[in-house]
Amino acid sequence: MELKEALAEIYKAAQEKFQIESTPKLVIREDEENANGIFGKTAYYEPATQTVVLYTTNRHHKDVCRSFAHELIHHVQNLRGDFEMGDASSPTYAQDDEHMRDMEKEAYLKGNLLFRDWEDFYKNYRLTNSPK
């Protein structure tokens, strides 16, 4: 399975699970300089434009998919209005703002579970039950 196909399928799973009505824009970014830094970006969500940006250079596709699932939860939070109650502009927003900290916890928990459930379903059902 190619990365873009996996991302589309993960989005479909998220759309069903979280009743997402507004599809975020997706940007896949290759950035060698970013990839070479230990603290390079892996992904982020931009609430104002409803955009998910994924950095893919030198990353395993599974890791990119997991990042995508995490950012999709931020999109769900944005659609619920959760970003209006906090400020993610500070580099330490997840440490300094309890509301934003809770949003990160939710994105890590629900994003990882979304990805895990999708992967397990795909490997254990789709691949074994699809027509040859």
Q: Which residue has the higher pLDDT, 71 or 131?
A: 71
Quote the pTM value: 0.89
| pLDDT at position 97 | 73
| pLDDT at position 125 | 80
Give per-residue pLDDT as tens, 23-68. 999 999 999 999 999 999 999 999 999 999 999 999 999 999 999 9
Statement: residue 132 has pLDDT above 70: no
Nearest CA to 29 out of 11, 47, 62, 55 is that of 55
| pLDDT at position 87 | 65
Handedness of CA 34, 38, 41, 42 (dihedral sign): positive
Distance in angstroms (rounded) separating the CA atoms of residues 106 and 73: 8
Give per-residue pLDDT as tens, 79-131. 999 877 766 666 666 776 788 889 999 999 999 999 999 999 988 887 666 55
For the beta carbon of residue 35, count every other beta carbon within 10 angstroms.
15
Residue type, 9: E
Mean pLDDT of 5-31: 97
Strand partners, 44: 53
Distance in angstroms (rounded) separating the CA atoms of residues 52 and 11: 12
| pLDDT at position 131 | 58
SS3 102: helix
| pLDDT at position 85 | 77
